[in-house]
Amino acid sequence: MLSKYRVYRYDQLKSYAVTAGTDAVLIGAQNGLFPDLGFNVEGEMGGLWAGEKKVCDGFFFAIDDVPLTCADACEARPEQTAFHYRMQKEELHVVRRQFIPDGVKGCVIELTIENGRDRARMVEVSFTVRTDILTVAAARGEDSMELGRDVGEYDEYTQAFYARDSRNPWYAVWGADRDSRVLQADVPPSVYGFGNTLGKGVNGRMFYRMRINAREQKTMRLFIAGGYSCRSQAEDALENLRQNAEALIRQKEARVFAMMNESEATLPDAALERSWNWAKIYGDWLTRHLPQGGVGLCTDLPEHPSLFGEGFAQAMSALLPLGGGKQVQQMLRTLVSISEEAQLAPGRLAKRISRSGKIRQIGGVKESALFVSLVHRTLRWTGDVDFAKEMLPMAGLCISYLRRATRNFEDIREDIVREAQLAVNGYAYILRLSGEDDSAMLDVLRSMASMEKGDIKEDMPLYELAAWHGRQGHVEQMIGCLSQMARAGAPGMPGAMKAEESGVLLSARSAAGFIWPMTESLFGVRPNAAEKEIWFAPHTPIGWDGWKLENVIIGGARLSFESERISPSQCRYTITCSEPGWHAVVMENGEGKAYPIEEAAALVMGD
């Protein structure tokens, strides 16, 4: 399943590796280890996180008293990460796979051992977890919280280790499946073969034994969970994983498989193709569900595990062409709800929110403007009139706040001119879609027309340069910028665009700088779902014979777009649609001409 999205790495294995789910994320290295990493809390941003709480620094294995200190290969897939170990002297091949099931504050580890000998043998497995139970706020001395040293104990009855922070009611648990009995358990002062990581954690180690026949392989499952306020919750979580791990893994695989079929790109350039398709994975990895309800997008990993944050509108917008229209609507509702409950000043919104729903930072004029433009962009892709009416009050407050802060749009800071124009244009659209009069906003927009400066700048970042070339129709130069962005990301993680901050592996907003030039200036798709129309202005770069973008969700329809080169200067573009009534609008002689799509439409266009 999802085999074409596998990525194998054999070098630079000290690079980050991420396995993520809706309620937990595991961050380590591609060599299978868990080094101290990160800057927000120095050295403490890796390991297993469950919501706001870090559970452990990592976990470690030894087979027949030989520590698995460095994997020979790392296999990254959308739903799991695997590490392969060739134990040639011991004639064993070990594969460690790790999953984060949806809705689970923990991880599932599958350890598969293959016996390379021609006779049966007994293999001893030691499994050690190094805890470090904390929150970023407590580690930074915020919220009047103080971290204690972790304490742990083995429970013979449940065949599991339990640990907690000595000053806070935070619990973690780890153990194996019911078929794997513990031979021995201890609390070693250091992790054998690895040494201890930073922090106030405790080591909990358990030993198991497996009989493996000649040339046979066997698998055992192990589990880690945490972030619970009492031990009984930890016990229940472990039991849930023991009973339902198989079903949870299959559910995750099915969901991810369906997601990967949406907005699937096929391109002649393998690096760009992988970057586009893996952007869906990272968007999923960064999506978080709040305990009290609602959905948010994590700012980045591993440095800022809070929701929304700097550039939240840009980050969330990248989900729209990837099948995430409904998801973005949920996130916007969550942002509005939390901001209203906090009784912020009219038109101001939360900028950074903790996983528990607490506002860590309040946004200013720029964030309010970006909110309105994001609602507009979301409506262009979903065509949801009810959502427009739902967002209209907050959008109106944001525009009023923007008006007050800019002396009725006459004194706009140079750095937010673009955002202000997009907000005014967006609000006019929201009014129009809601059945309200938009004429006043259109008058404001006309008065702002001379403010924007669209010239190229020498120090322009690659993503801005790519967008600028795309708007000018310089598709080859745009592809050149995007190719540089694709190569600059983390090794072994296609689509993990290089972030602006050091220490950041996955940045929620970095993908947007890649996705939008591809969407609007390569595939040429600018929808207006409420009118069932696609403004279509595609390009096919020199040297490309064509491309495909399939199963794009726009409004209630699924559309696919395909390019086929028929001459050095012309291509045939085919559009298919799952529902009637849609049409493509193409610019001809300076005017838009509508072509009905029905089931399919084929257009011959020049580049």
Is residue 562 predicted with pLDDT exceeding 50? yes
pLDDT of residue 4: 73
Rg of the chain over Cα atoms, rounded to whole angstroms, equals 26
Residue 332 corresponds to which amino acid? L
Higher per-residue pLDDT: 143 or 589? 589
Mean pLDDT of 37-44: 89
Is residue 363 predicted with pLDDT exceeding 70? yes
Measured CA to CA, the distance from residue 328 to residue 307 in angstroms comes to 13
The share of the chain scoring above pLDDT 90, in percent, equals: 75
**What residue spans define the domains of the chain?**
13-258, 270-451, 523-606
Helix (H, G, I), strand (E, B) or coil at 198: coil
CATH code 1.50.10.10 for 270-451: yes
pLDDT in tens, 73-97: 999 999 999 999 999 999 999 999 9
Burial readout 476-515 (b: 16 or more C-beta within 10 A, e: otherwise):
ebbbbbbbebbeebbbbbbbbbbbeeebbbbbbbbbbbbb
Mean pLDDT of 433-450: 90
Mean pLDDT of 485-503: 77
Distance of CA 346 to the CA centre of its chain: 31
Residue 474 corresponds to which amino acid? H
Tell the CATH topology of 523-606: Maltose phosphorylase, domain 3 (2.60.420)
**How does strand 184-186 pair with strand 506-507?**
unpaired
Spell out the residues 6+ positions from residue 244 whose beta carbon is closer than 8 angstroms to its own.
none
Torsion of CA 394, 400, 405, 409, to 10 degrees: 120
pLDDT of residue 442: 92
The overall average pLDDT reported for the chain is 92
Helix (H, G, I), strand (E, B) or coil at 562: strand
1 falls in which pLDDT band (50, 70, 90)?
very low
pLDDT of residue 297: 94
Measured CA to CA, the distance from residue 240 to residue 249 in angstroms comes to 13
Is residue 228 predicted with pLDDT exceeding 70? yes
Mean pLDDT of 21-35: 93
194 falls in which pLDDT band (50, 70, 90)?
confident
pLDDT of residue 490: 76
Which of 59-68, 257-266, 284-293, 456-465 shows the lowest mean pLDDT across its residues? 456-465
pLDDT in tens, 383-392: 999 999 999 9
pLDDT of residue 599: 83
Measured CA to CA, the distance from residue 351 to residue 344 in angstroms comes to 11
Mean pLDDT of 5-27: 90
pLDDT of residue 367: 95
Mean pLDDT of 471-489: 91
141 falls in which pLDDT band (50, 70, 90)?
confident
Which of 154-158, 221-225, 366-370, 448-452 shows the lowest mean pLDDT across its residues? 448-452
CATH code 3.40.50.620 for 13-258: no
Mean pLDDT of 569-585: 95
